[in-house]
Amino acid sequence: MQETMLSGVRILDMTNVLAGPFCCHQLAHMGAEVIKIEAVGTGDLARQLGADKDLSQANMGISFLAQNAGKKSLTINLKSNGGRAIFERLLVTADVLVENFRPGVMKRLELDFEFLKQHQPNLIYCAISGFGQTGPMSARPAYDQIIQGLSGVMSITGKPEDDHLRVGYPLADTIGGLTAAMAISAALNKTPRGQFIDVSMLDSVLTTMGWVVSNYLIGGIEPTKHGNENITSAPSGSFNTKDGLLNIAANEERQWQTLISHLGCKHLANDDRFANRENRKIHRYQLNQELEKFLVAKPAKLWEEEFTKLGVPVGVVKSIPEILNDSHTYHRGLISEFKDVKGIDRDISLVRTGFHADGKPMEVTTPPPKLGQHNQELLSELGYNQETIDKFIAEGII
């Protein structure tokens, strides 16, 4: 079997819905063995979520399928003595545990880091929550939109005249998951291992807002909404063409000169409003109107091809289906295909992860698991015989 970045690392995934599962999704693609520990009978709530009603009813909702490929599913009733015994036996084989319960839940279950490290001193324990394990807001429940609002993201999204808007996908959950995966990957390099990692979705989002936050902290400028405009330069934003929007980022003087030369409006360089970078920023909306008089002459795709050849950064504004079916996406190997997936009896396509290693995309070889699909395999590995396993099933322990 080919060695991967995290070959030989076993991760217990005790997470639900998105931030935690997305974290473990990244780690699975890096080669870790991820065992998803789920509640008996119900499993991850994401199994009932998604746009396809039939899949949700089959306990294989699209929201679950999206970030659980490559994992194994083990169902355990952790409130039972038998379930606790199974978990403790499994724990000593694990390197990492990831959970995204509200702070205090794992302590009430006697499954918090201080308790578990007595059984596994080298355990890396990662807790993902909305606000972190400490602080005035730590006990509050959190969903992605709550974090987007509290973090200030919504206050800077949209046009100036709009109400505050959320970003169109679960930004906070995803960034929280990536932050956790990064921290776990670093902790795996520590010798000896054994660490408690406290990931706050709110903190994680704020740290990705570097320029916006620093403009306030250092420059004293309160961030506001600018729609599709890049306030650091002009022309830099979205422009109307003959058939759709084109993003243009002519941030350098050379790119600006090439842009207006190719459009046939070199006279704009002699206009005092647009004569230099700072003036163009001040008069950006007037500049946009002037440029669009020329941009509407051709389709966005044609402008994209022409300006790309000239070294001006541009890109057509695409829909999700358009970019997923783009030849570049296929070339990068971003989409994985799984045939005749158990539990749904259909083929599915899923996104992998966003980087290559040694020229190859990260991948897992198995599709998202049915609830409890690996109970037999994992319990046998832990030393339980068939009679005991059958008893566990009868008693609702697994």
Predicted confidence (pLDDT) per residue in 225-255, tens digit: 999 999 889 999 999 999 999 999 999 999 9
Query: Which pLDDT belongs to residue 1?
Result: 42
- From CA 130, how far away is CA 201, in angstroms rounded? 5
CA torsion angle for 260, 264, 270, 275 (degrees, to 10)? -10
In this predicted structure, the answer to whether residue 185 has a pLDDT above a threshold of 70 is: yes
173 is catalytic: yes
Phi, psi at 397, each rounded to 5°: -75, -30
**For the residues 172-194, what does the mean pLDDT come to?**
96
Percent of the chain with pLDDT over 70: 99
How many helices (DSSP H) and strands (DSSP E) are in the chain?
18, 13
Confirm whether pTM is higher than 0.85: yes
Question: Average pLDDT over the chain, rounded to whole?
Answer: 95
Query: Which residue, among 288, 291, 233, has the nearest Cα to 260 in the 3D structure?
Result: 291
Give tens-digit pLDDT for 367-381.
999 999 999 999 999
Over the stretch 167-178, which tens digit does the pLDDT of each residue have? 999 999 999 999
CB atoms closer than 10 angstroms to residue 358: 4
Span 200-222, average pLDDT: 95
First-to-final CA distance of the chain: 30
Q: Which domains does the chain have, with CATH numbers?
A: 10-208+331-394 (3.40.50.10540), 236-317 (3.30.1540.10)
Phi and psi at residue 43, to the nearest 5°: 70, -165
The pLDDT value recorded for residue 2 is 55
Structural contact between residues 95 and 123, judged by C-beta atoms closer than 8 angstroms: yes
- Cβ neighbours for 84, distance < 8 A, ≥ 6 positions apart: 78
Exactly one of 13, 44, 95, 173 is catalytic; name it: 173
Give residue-wise pLDDT tens across range 53-86.
999 999 999 999 999 999 999 999 999 999 999 9
Residue 378 Cα distances to 82, 122, 357, 382, angstroms: 15, 21, 30, 6
Structure confidence at residue 4 (pLDDT):
84
